[in-house]
Amino acid sequence: MNKIAEIFTSLDYGPAPESPDVALAWLSAHDNTFGHFINGAWTKPGKTFATENPATNKPLAQITDGTAADVDAAVKAARAAFPKWSALSGYQRGKYLYAIARLIQKHSRLFAVLETMDNGKPIRESRDVDIPLVARHFYHHAGWAQHREREFPDHVPYGVCGQIIPWNFPLLMLAWKIAPALAAGNTVVLKPAEFTSLTALLFAEICEKAKLPKGVVNIVTGEGDTGAAITSHPDIDKIAFTGSTEVGKIIRKATAGTGKGLSLELGGKSPYIVFDDADIDSAIEGLVDAIWFNQGQVCCAGSRLLVQESIETRFLEKLKKRMSTLRVGDPLDKAVDIGALVAPVQVARVTELVKKGIAEGGQLYEPDIDLPPGGGCFLRPALITGVSPANTVASEEIFGPVLVEMSFRTPEEAVALANNTRYGLAATIWTENVNLALDIAPKLKAGVVWINSTNNFDAAVGFGGYKESGFGREGGREGMASYLKPAWEKELKPFVAAAPKAAKSANPLDDIGSIDQTAKMYIGGKQARPDSGYSRPVLSPTGALVGEVGDGNRKDIRNAVEAARAALGWSTTSAHNRAQILYFLAENLEYRADEFAARIKAQTGEDGASEVAASVERLFAFAGWADKYDGAVHNPPQRMVATAMVEALGTMAILAPPSRPLLGSIALVAPALAMGNTVVLVPSEKSPLSMTDFYQVLETSDVPSGVLNIVTGESKVLAKTLAEHDGIDAIWFAGDAETSKMVEAASAGNVKQTWTSRGLYYDLSDKQKFEGDYFLRRATQVKNVWIPYGA
């Protein structure tokens, strides 16, 4: 029997090696040593470290470890380039992006081979997935550059963007960040991961060939200290980070109070849900892609397999058989399914987590397949069954070729298991029942949901997570919006508060008449006395006692958050019904306009009629938005549609500004409620009585219990409690710069989304600025659901 006949009989794969010669020649042309790319030129190499081929553990090149001085030079170059770059027409910027895309295509094979050698991923993946998507992002954003002014009127680029990317998709993450930043008119200082800097350095040469203006793109290599120098640099206007949740929290704290824009794409522990009516063979092929693509080193990897109990045994049998056919080997071999992990430290981490999972009761299955001889960072694909949600491997991101399996009985249980995680990046659903798929998708707390497919990405479709998977989006309209800000924000001035006046008498009790003027809090649809048992005086501008309110504490906040979370069904109430309730609120407030105007005058000395009228109008405005601020349907190149669903953030904490006691709260609460959030409100510390009166309006306007809760007290104290509370999904604070910084830093605990005024004056009475997208966008997050179509 000849060799060909033998192959057809055994169906064994033969080797199909990709030559590394061109990539090695490129490295040799640089003497295998690289400096930084700053201001359109290459710096001399400084102190270097080795980047290694993880398949062989042999060095490829020496990379310069960037210093704070290097980062400063890059930032200065980017700052100097910004005025001219941002002043170019969108068409002119788009031509540069188009040129970059074309050059990447022309050198695609070199990029793919270099990426595989530096990262360890199979050449099939870098060649057929990563590099085409890189070019796609630059093509796509060339269009956004030209249409930016039309689609984002009155918005401007941030300025200099600091960008830090991970090692799992080195060039693709670069494209995700640089393309929209340049399209928007920003300039960039980017740090690639220390393990995988080579394709970023090759990209710098592409920028030279495209004749990109000097300083627009700067590449500074280095380790963790280099990244820290970027995030802490005072002349960087926005930070974009992709990486671990732990580092993301550090960056959130480091940027607190600086006014920098911030987007974080962090870790994940994504569920892969298979219902009993699914096409099992297709679901297994999808699962191979979900967890063993890039050796499982994917933030959105489908690492938690949830299988309906009735098909669990059959599914696992088929899965194990399929695992036994996977090929682990040289990443440059086109017939290899699983390449090398990025570094020995990653192999050690994955191995240790697997041991821990077994020690906690999990059963490990690894197929009996050979690993390449001679070392290298290789691991077999692994499956761990018999685990509970509390098992470490079921809750922690492993970031390796390890799948964890659990079963469920009902769709409700599947949703509960899927959402039982601090992450919320992606999810996959397999079922032949389209009604079931579209019922489950909105219930999953994830920024991306794939139906009967997995790991679909496109430049036109936003990508990003919920909860501790971060905030902000990359790709599509949402990704462009992340690199722009309203032009008027750059003109904000500091808020100047009026000096407080003391009470006329030494003892506030002396001013209280025969009728008690102490307002209660409003929690869970009921009036509530403060847990502290203390009250706070509310004074007029002349120092006269107007009334008293409860002095809220940590327990009051706990009760309010519990009530708000119990009312999260508000987000599933139809937008039409939410609109009707907001209209009803406005109507009932207008009935009592004179009373509320008098209360405002008593607290502030100002004529309150105009403020009440503005508050009524603001409620009407957001009632009108409730059923109109919705998503879109994207058309990626695949035979799929991606529906961008606009969803509520969850439970929000809102701390109102000291001025405008009624409108200051309504202007923030109305968009939050319109979008389906529940709210814990701390009204104006100085003049809270307008909002304690407002709960009487709530009680007559069909607002469900717990949707809006009001806790009075000292804003700074309550802000800290709310920012640290894991039951709060987002926090808005209008007040001084010091407390704003504290709120942003404390929010890092569960990576809350934040908006703070940072001591600046936001004129919330300005209808043009604040009756539309500004707060609506901050009160929502976008989930993209990918739906295949066609026979």
Nearest Cα residue to 345 out of 33, 52, 32: 52
Angle between helices 689-699 and 593-604 (to 10 degrees): 160
Q: Note whether 272 and 405 are within 8 A (CB).
A: no
Q: Torsion angle, CA of 293/221/71/475, rounded to 10 degrees?
A: -20
Considering 18, 125, 265, 312, which one is annotated as catalytic? 265
The CA distance from 65 to 48, in Å, is: 5
Q: What HEC string does 573-612 produce?
A: CCHHHHHHHHHHHHHHHHHCHHHHHHHHHHHHCCCCHHHH
| Radius of gyration of the chain measured on its C-alpha atoms | 28
Report how far apart, in Å, the C-alpha atoms of 518 and of each of 86, 279, 749 are. Answer: 55, 64, 35
Relative to beta strand 526-528, strand 521-523 is: antiparallel
Report how far apart, in Å, the C-alpha atoms of 724 and of each of 278, 315, 746 are. Answer: 42, 42, 5
Q: Note whether 142 and 101 are within 8 A (CB).
A: yes
Catalytic (active site) residue 300: no
Give, for 644, the enclosing helix (H) or strand (E): strand 640-648
The CA distance from 730 to 672, in Å, is: 10
Q: Is residue 749 classed exposed, middle or buried when 0-12, 13-18 and 19+ CB atoms within 10 A define those classes?
A: middle
3-state secondary structure of 338: strand
3-state secondary structure of 512: coil
Catalytic (active site) residue 611: no
The CA distance from 772 to 754, in Å, is: 18
Considering 161, 207, 299, 377, which one is annotated as catalytic? 299
Query: Beta strands of 90-237 (E only): which ranges?
Result: 155-157, 160-164, 187-191, 217-219
Residue type, 616: V
Kindly report the number of other CB atoms within 10 A of residue 690's CB atom: 28
* Residues labelled catalytic: 265, 299
